[in-house]
Chains A and B, each alone.
Chain A
Amino acid sequence: MTDATLNTGGDRPGSSLATQDARTKRRNRAEARFKAYGLTAILIGIFFLVVLAVSIIRSGSPAFTRTIVGVEFTITQPQIEAAEGELFKTKAYQTLFIDALKQQLDARGMEMEFDEESIERLLGKVGSTLREYYQANPGEIGTPVSFELAASSRVDGYLNGRLTRDSVKDSRFLMAADLDLVDALQEAGIVRSSLNWTFITGADSGVDNPGGAGIGASVVGSFFMMLVVLVLSLPIGVAASIYLEEFAPQNRFTDLIEVNISNLAAVPSIVFGILGLAVFIQFAHLPQSAPLVGGLVLTLMTLPTIIISTRASLRAVPPSIRDAALGVGASKMQSVFHHVLPLAMPGILTGTIIGLAQALGETAPLLLIGMVGFVARGYPDGVVSGFMDPNSAMPAQIYTWAARADPSFYEKAWGGIIVLLVFLLTMNIIAIILRRRFERRW
């Protein structure tokens, strides 16, 4: 080997490249260790992600099914008139339904003892469903209609395994003896599980009525909010970035603006909520709890994100494109709008969608403008009502549910998280597809 002769230093013995000396081994070991660290970090990350996903899906899936009581029910005109004459009309409907169900069960000849009260404990708040149905379909009065009505949250918990026979303590919500009736009714096919459409399409409900709670109305609220954010923050953000990046002179003033934009991006979102309360509600007298105000507040929060990502993607367009446009006689504005902006568009859209996704998941600023709490107006009547009438938003709805006493609402909160995650995932996937499709590299 000729390289042996190169080693004239003395203390380092001559050797082949193939045989590793201690130093090389040490370096190789360091590299292997580093790779192992990296792999461990990724594995830990994946582990937590899986744990999170599994626990979300496990806790949230019961929200998408519900226990229903399916029976035929007939109401007569005098009964309706009597019920409508009361102050607490839905209660009157509920009582009528309970009596009818009791008669049907008596006719079937059930083995166990039961009375109206035990049936009441098994049922959810069905009165409002019945009243709504008959107000919408007055033609059905007097004819038998087969209803599928929500069972109480306790029965629901018993069938989906949250409550076991041992953990049931007699209370006015559920007696241990009621479970025998539930079992018998389940066998008879009267009580069964079904997909919970109310959860997907409904609005919030009172704390004693988990069966009537749904996330649909707050999805609509979030949608109108995001519309405001999109319509306001995209043009303002893009116009501001184009000016700052392409037209503005470099001086201390623009430097100051730049620093401030970066700072704004790091401001905690609750601060924007306080600002929104002071400016939009107390000063501008916009309505409380309205998606319009929510959207305006979230716009403030999203603007810096959009400006920063738009400027980055404008900067990524090579100067040669601008030079070429200017070289063939385009004005500065033509070069920006005909050449630079279209090329920067995929990056701008990605930034916008990610900014929107961030805004979609934001609760803190909504807390102060009245969108967190019990907001159950249902669906808006039109576009104006969509912006101006009180509504909740998805994260606010989840937050509200998580704080309620009935454990059934806890499931609903997890179910809401699943719905929210589906929306976030969809938005991120759209962002990725847009980038993949239209991005150009130089």
Chain B
Amino acid sequence: MSLLKTTVSAAALAGLAAGSAAARDNVQVAGSSTVLPYASIVAELFGDNTDFPTPVVESGGSSSGLKRFCEGVGENTIDVANASRAIREKEIKACAENGVTDIIEVRIGYDGIVFASQQSGPAFTEFQPADIFNAIGAQVLKDGEIVANPHNSWTEFNSDLPDAEIAMFIPGTKHGTREVFEDKVLLKGCEDTGAMKAMMDGGMSEDDAEDACLDVRADGKSVDIDGDYTETLARIDANTNGIGVFGLAFYENNTDKLKVATMGGVAPSTETIASGEYPVSRPLYFYVKKAHIGVIPGLKEYAQFFVADEIAGPGGPLSNYGLVADPELGDVQAAVANEKVMGGGS
């Protein structure tokens, strides 16, 4: 009876699955969607240029990647976590609780965050952090007093900016990009406008004032984008006045649709980011589980290949795609070669 046959083959398949659930031969990576493009370039080249199989790179965001990274040691956990921010104390502790103690931190380079609008939209060409804060902060300084953000148009606080309705699309809280945006733009703007000082004069502690500075208005003028940059691009496409927050590489791939604004008077480019002139940039990292080196074939080779001069250095495929090469790449290479773990040990 054919039914019996299929049942038997199903049982055989299940047995096969249980039997060969060993020996993963590929590197498994997960994490930041900002690092994903670079990791995918490296993964493809690693597969093409070595005898190891192409690593699998998943997305999901820095936090979710590090969370999976810290789930434990073993073949059913990931080997590498990509992150668009440094790992936090809390995460290192969570890692240690699950037995993930020796972590190698690898900085691959820098990424710029740019503010761009529709090619045919109003002339948003120059921003200061203060403008962005005045546009989307929950509480701003107006006529010497802290008030709930009353602004509807950009001209209301800066007459140089176009008279257009405020509509900003910023990265959602699960993105590592959000943290840089808060630190380098919102907080800076809060200080520059004097709102932070006014808040502290009004009786807030410094920490509370900082938190209040990072609050974003919730009346629809600022929209959190939890998806990828393509989602932000689609929103900008549909809204003439929309201003989106993008990674430099994404913008450079879409210059025919997007118009970029300077920040603090500096235009974003790999040069201005490498020199540190452009204010909104951040380092990108990946983290390697030392316990997996030697167990998962190709793991150390992948990390070394990633940060090699030919790949992550100036003129390599990563910098061609928009990554700003790390000026101290040599130190990173040495750290990877020596498997230097975080926290001082070797």
Same complex: yes
Identify the A interface with B (CB < 8 A): 86-91, 127-128, 131-132, 163, 167-169, 171-173, 205-209, 212, 228, 231-232, 234-236, 238-239, 281-282, 284-289, 292, 337, 370, 372-378, 384, 387-390, 402-407, 410
Identify the B interface with A (CB < 8 A): 1, 3, 6-7, 9-10, 13, 16-18, 20-21, 24, 26, 28, 30, 33, 36-37, 39-45, 47-49, 53-54, 56-59, 71, 75-76, 78, 227-230, 249-250, 252-256, 305, 308, 310-311, 316-317, 320-321
* Contacting pair A373 B36 (CB below 8 A): yes
Taking the closest CB of chain A, its distance from the CB of B332, in whole angstroms, is 16
Contact (A376, B47) CB under 8 Å given A286-B17, A390-B56: yes
Taking the closest CB of chain A, its distance from the CB of B238, in whole angstroms, is 16
* Contacting pair A377 B53 (CB below 8 A): yes
* Contacting pair B229 A405 (CB below 8 A): yes
Contact of B16 among A128, A169, A337, A384 (CB under 8 A): A384
Distance A375 CA – B20 CA, assembled complex (angstroms): 21
Taking the closest CB of chain B, its distance from the CB of A117, in whole angstroms, is 11
Chain A residues contacting B28 (CB-CB under 8 Å) are 288-289, 370, 390
Q: Given known contacts A373-B30, A388-B17, what 17 new A-B pairs fall within 8 Å (CB)?
A: A87-B305, A88-B311, A90-B45, A90-B49, A132-B48, A163-B256, A171-B252, A172-B320, A206-B42, A209-B41, A231-B6, A236-B10, A281-B76, A288-B24, A375-B56, A377-B56, A404-B230
Taking the closest CB of chain A, its distance from the CB of B340, in whole angstroms, is 21
Chain B residues contacting A238 (CB-CB under 8 Å) are 3
Contact of B308 among A88, A169, A171, A384 (CB under 8 A): A88
* Contacting pair B49 A87 (CB below 8 A): yes
Chain B residues contacting A292 (CB-CB under 8 Å) are 17
* Contacting pair A374 B17 (CB below 8 A): no
Contact (A374, B3) CB under 8 Å given A208-B321, A284-B21, A404-B230: no
Distance A389 CA – B13 CA, assembled complex (angstroms): 15
Distance A389 CA – B21 CA, assembled complex (angstroms): 11
* Contacting pair A376 B44 (CB below 8 A): yes
- Please name the residue on chain B nearest to A403 by beta carbon: B228
Number of interchain pairs (Cβ within 8 Å): 162
Chain A residues contacting B53 (CB-CB under 8 Å) are 377, 389
Taking the closest CB of chain A, its distance from the CB of B101, in whole angstroms, is 20
* Contacting pair A405 B57 (CB below 8 A): no
Contact (A231, B13) CB under 8 Å given A169-B255, A378-B54: yes
* Contacting pair B75 A285 (CB below 8 A): yes
Taking the closest CB of chain B, its distance from the CB of A112, in whole angstroms, is 23
* Contacting pair B56 A231 (CB below 8 A): no
* Contacting pair A87 B310 (CB below 8 A): yes
Distance A207 CA – B17 CA, assembled complex (angstroms): 33
Chain B residues contacting A87 (CB-CB under 8 Å) are 49, 305, 308, 310
* Contacting pair A207 B6 (CB below 8 A): no
Taking the closest CB of chain A, its distance from the CB of B313, in whole angstroms, is 10
Contact (A377, B26) CB under 8 Å given A208-B317, A231-B13, A370-B58: yes
Chain A residues contacting B305 (CB-CB under 8 Å) are 87
Distance A403 CA – B305 CA, assembled complex (angstroms): 25
* Contacting pair B256 A169 (CB below 8 A): yes
* Contacting pair B57 A374 (CB below 8 A): yes
Chain A residues contacting B39 (CB-CB under 8 Å) are 374
What are 20 A-B residue pairs whose CB atoms fall within 8 Å in the complex? A88-B311, A169-B255, A169-B256, A208-B37, A208-B320, A212-B44, A228-B13, A232-B13, A235-B10, A284-B21, A286-B76, A289-B58, A375-B56, A376-B54, A387-B13, A403-B33, A403-B59, A403-B229, A404-B37, A407-B254
Taking the closest CB of chain A, its distance from the CB of B346, in whole angstroms, is 25
Chain B residues contacting A404 (CB-CB under 8 Å) are 37, 230
Chain B residues contacting A284 (CB-CB under 8 Å) are 18, 21
Taking the closest CB of chain A, its distance from the CB of B29, in whole angstroms, is 8
- Please name the residue on chain B nearest to A228 by beta carbon: B13
* Contacting pair B58 A372 (CB below 8 A): yes
Contact (A206, B56) CB under 8 Å given A88-B311, A282-B76, A384-B20: no
Chain B residues contacting A88 (CB-CB under 8 Å) are 45, 49, 308, 310-311, 316
Distance A132 CA – B20 CA, assembled complex (angstroms): 30
Chain B residues contacting A337 (CB-CB under 8 Å) are 1
Contact of A206 among B44, B228, B308 (CB under 8 A): B44
Chain B residues contacting A376 (CB-CB under 8 Å) are 43-44, 47, 54
* Contacting pair B253 A374 (CB below 8 A): no
Chain B residues contacting A168 (CB-CB under 8 Å) are 256
- Please name the residue on chain A nearest to B16 by beta carbon: A384
Count chain A CB atoms within 10 A of each CB in B28, B39, B49, B311 and give the residue with the most.
B49
* Contacting pair A377 B230 (CB below 8 A): no
Chain A residues contacting B20 (CB-CB under 8 Å) are 384, 388
